[in-house]
Amino acid sequence: MASEDVFILGIKMTKFGKHKELDTVDLATEATLAALADGGVTMKDMNIISAGNLMGGALPIAQVIQKACGQTGIPAYNVSNACATGATALRVVGMSIKAGESDFGLAVGVEKLAGAGLLAGGSRKSDGKSWERSGRYGAVAGVDGRIGTDIMPGVFAQIGMEYGHKYGGANFELFAEISRKNHFHSTLNPLAAYTKEMSLEQIMGDIMIAYPNTRPMCSANCDGAAAAVLVSGSKLKTLSQQQQRRAVKVSASILTSDPYEEACQVLPNVNTLTRAAAKQAYEQAGVGPEDLDLVELHDCFATAELVHYDNLMLCEEGNAVDFFKSGATWRTGSMPVNVSGGLQSKGHPIAATGIANVWEVCHHLRGEAGPRQIEGAKVGLAHVIGLASACGVHILESNTA
């Protein structure tokens, strides 16, 4: 059975934000061509493409990208896996390379989300003036927020509050401090949607979305795309020394879904889901959390970042509050988390986020992150989670001696 090492040869993301003049295809094409150029290859070299776009309806984005960048008859996979879509596209390409079917592959995620609001579920009447109960959402609308919720701000607010109730110390101010860290980190990332430092008072005093998350503590829906070129280890050896030096090894690529649990449908279990993915990733990569030099995790809300410190085993179980208070997760700390600014500042164009998180880690492992560089970074972890649920974890390692 074939088993190839997999490397990221080229990777790029567009600037996240509002791009009124660009459509989905424009953004996807920009990221794709930039990733190919970054890897020193062309579409003609690709053996597979996997791409995702959640809000584009029936648009077969993988084929559309080929029409714009070069059609060569290769297999095209269109993936959809909530916020883990980009990570899933990356994994599809990686599996093809590991199977020995491909030497090169392209993974792309793209979204137009600026102004999309909270992406809440539900249907509307044709007149657009009042909401009408229908289907599964309609059946539970009357108790939404009483016994649980499917609306993302509410889900993650409850998850954070549950953690605080169980272990103590997780209060409104602490969650706001996590957000302050990420907004501060964003000031060094020119591709982030928002690059403005915010004080604790500004964050706590902003509009409350779902307690304890105010507006700056929520991920920023925006436009953007990210793309990655993957290559097999054997093919990489035939490329130039510069290409080999800049390549980043994918030491682990894991995707999990919700495990079976008796009856509990009140909240998605993002904790078990992520912890299972992290455990498998560490085992596959042959490293532990203590070996990580930086982490990009899915901080769709400030409350999510706190619980994922624990779920990714960056700290002892139940010790996420003390871990954060130690200063470890700041870019100058012992375990920098979301140096990019995270989803709260960098932005969250859903299908692009999984690859964008990988891009940030790769940037540091290559030593190309400029003023936000984590010096000497050799190993990093990228994490995304999508409700329904899906969790993607990638562990990446520098290819330099």
| DSSP state letter for 259 | P
Q: 14 CB contacts (<8 Å, ≥6 apart)?
A: 27, 30, 31, 34, 191, 224, 225, 226
- Does 211 fall in a domain? no
Torsion sign over Cα 13, 250, 93, 277: negative
At 385, list the tokens. Answer: 């989670």
Total residues found in the chain within this entry: 401
How many domains does the chain contain in total? 1
- Does 277 fall in a domain? yes
Q: What is the Cα–Cα distance from 320 to 393, expressed in whole angstroms?
A: 19
Nearest to 293 by CA among 370, 355, 342, 361: 361
- Does 271 fall in a domain? yes
Cβ atoms of residues 236 and 222 within 8 Å: no
Nearest to 311 by CA among 280, 342, 274: 274
CATH code where residue 363 lies: 3.40.47.10
Cβ atoms of residues 258 and 389 within 8 Å: yes
Q: 57 CB contacts (<8 Å, ≥6 apart)?
A: none
Domain containing 16: what range?
Answer: 6-115+221-398
Q: 73 CB contacts (<8 Å, ≥6 apart)?
A: none
- Does 177 fall in a domain? no
Query: Is residue 243 helix, strand or coil?
Result: helix
- Does 11 fall in a domain? yes
Q: What is the Cα–Cα distance from 126 to 140, expressed in whole angstroms?
A: 21
SS (H, E, C) 153-174: HHHHHHHHHHHHHHHCCCCHHH
pLDDT value at residue 265: 53
Q: List, for the chain, all residue ranges whose pLDDT scores fall below the cut of 50.
A: 1, 119-127, 401
pLDDT value at residue 137: 52
* CA 359 remoteness from chain centre: 10
Q: What is the Cα–Cα distance from 39 to 10, expressed in whole angstroms?
A: 4
DSSP letter string, 24-82: HHHHHHHHHHHHHHHHT--GGG-S-EEEE-SSSTT--HHHHHHHHH------EEEE-BT
- Does 393 fall in a domain? yes
- Does 127 fall in a domain? no
pLDDT value at residue 124: 36
pLDDT value at residue 191: 97
Regarding pTM above 0.85, the answer is yes
- Does 253 fall in a domain? yes
- pLDDT tens per residue, range 22-70: 999 999 999 999 999 999 999 999 999 999 999 887 789 999 999 999 9
